[in-house]
Amino acid sequence: MTELDHHRAGQDDLPGRDPVLDVVIPVYNEEATLAACVHRLDAHLRETYPYPFVITVANNASTDRTADVAFGLAEEVANLRVVDLDRKGRGRALKAAWESSTADVLAYMDVDLSTDLDALWPLVAPLMSGHSDLAIGSRLSSTSRVVRQPSREIISRGYNLLLRVGLGVGFSDAQCGFKAIRADVARELLPLVEDDAWFFDTELLVLAERAHLRIHEVPVDWMDDPDSRVDVTRTAIDDLRGMWRMRRSMRRLRPDLDRIAATLGRGVFGAPLLRQIARFAGVGIASTALHLAGFVALVSMGMAGQVANVLALAVATVANTQANRTFTFGAREEHALRHHAEGFVLAALTWLMTAVSLGAVQALVRSPDTILSTVGVAVGAALSVVIRFLAMRRWAPSEGATGGPFPGVPTVPRERGGEVVRHSG
């Protein structure tokens, strides 16, 4: 059987109009559960979704009667199409279904419907209004209600923590099987996604974030499927390999991501810049506290103020540069030495400004105490913050920064739809 192709009912029943929403259900050996899932989802969409929609069953090279069940459902359920693949792979199934869809909004969810369907409209609405480019369900929100095994909870939180540390991502839950993306965004990003299995979702989200696209998060209620057949250990290993591959491939993908950002991304005052400022401020506060604490400790030990300032600043500079590389700008590891060297160049500016401030205090007060000296150093450090941010942000875009100014970005039409994506990691 061909890579994709079997389309029954559905779009033929939408005279003169393409569907706004396409909800994809990737399945593998789900002959026992598929019919109930399709009927429940179809009923929910008919009751709650006011625009034309289609449901797509992406049969992922099943070896049981799943394909026969899917084709039978297509004869009885209006607006149902079937994409039948002859090779296994969750990411491959989603690519095939999305690339063959004519909907403005592409969505996918698990056949077990672990996520409460009431979250579907809040998921796609920000995409249809033009507020966001992608949307993801998050089980890690404080308002989410989640029922699953403690071991899976620990694995999920550990994986997302690794993503934040290793790839500097800003989204909270890469693995939730409930996501959405606008069709025009999918057309740009899908050719760049290499993984055809479980890492597909994570890779798509990382690429979107590096292209400065806006990702909206929706808290979801989630109940784990007790009959899940996902090999957690194998999936975790594959995900770690995917993370390592992505770290090494960002430089190669940078031109494509910059092009996507210029076409679809947000302007200088968009969410990515605000997120960068917030992270830079957090790193700056922590490193300034480290600088001042080191200065106070060295002065208290009897060291001269200027010498103590230089030593404390050197330590704080290394910590600041590394934290901003990883957490704020997502820079590539290969350039760590160069970035640290350039960090010391910026630190020289900070040192000059703090030295002038400290000298001014010493000139005004013959024998300043530790508090006045510390205030002088703090004033100088604060004056250098803006210059440091602008300078470091100029290094970041070619190394995988998460934001940047792109003049002339077109406004997203408010009537456009978004798509729902789904990851099982």
pLDDT tens digit sequence for 137-159:
887 777 777 666 676 667 777 77
In angstroms, the CA 362 to CA 310 distance is 16
At CB < 8 A and 24+ separation, what contacts does 65-69 make?
65/31, 66/27, 66/28, 66/29, 66/30, 66/31, 66/34, 68/31, 69/31, 69/34, 69/35
Residue 109: which domain range? 11-264
| Predicted pLDDT at 396 | 53
For 246, the enclosing helix (H) or strand (E) is helix 232-264
SS3 332: coil
Q: Which of 199, 230, 264 is the last residue of a domain?
A: 264
Say how many C-beta atoms besides its own lie within 10 A of residue 343's C-beta.
22
Distance CA 243, CA 235 (A): 12
Q: Could you tell me if 170 and 279 lie in one domain?
A: no
How many domains does one find in the chain?
Answer: 2
What is the identity of the amino acid at 409? V
Other CB atoms within 10 Å distance of the CB of residue 411: 7
Q: Residue 231's pLDDT is what?
A: 60
Same structural domain, 26 and 41: yes
The reply to whether 199 and 334 lie within a common domain is no
Terminal alpha carbon distance of the chain: 27
Structural domain includes residue 417: no
- 143, 257: one domain: yes
Confidence (pLDDT) at 349: 79
Task: Report pLDDT for 95.
Answer: 94
Examine the domain organization and report whether 252 and 286 are in the same domain. Answer: no
2 within domain boundaries:
no
Helix axes 232-264, 150-167, angle to 10 degrees: 40
One of 42, 201, 239, 258 is an active-site residue; which one?
201
Residue 415 lies in a domain: no
Q: Give the Cβ contact number of residue 253 at 10 Å.
A: 17
Q: Is there a catalytic annotation at residue 201?
A: yes
* Domain contains 420: no
User: Rounded to the nearest 5°, which phi and psi values hold at 122?
Assistant: -60, -25
166, 47: one domain = yes
Residues 83, 207 share a domain? yes
Same domain (yes/no): 248, 388: no
Last residue of a domain, one of 264, 294, 314: 264
199 in a domain, yes or no?
Answer: yes
Residues in the chain: 425
Indicate whether 168 and 283 sit together in one domain. Answer: no
Same domain, 87 and 211: yes
* pLDDT, averaged in runs of 10, over the chain (425 residues): 41 60 94 94 94 94 94 93 92 94 91 86 88 86 71 73 79 83 94 92 92 88 64 73 88 86 57 72 88 91 87 89 79 71 82 76 67 71 75 54 28 28 28
**Would you say residue 361 lies in a domain?**
yes
| Residue 408 is assigned to a structural domain of this protein | no
Does some domain include residue 287?
A: yes
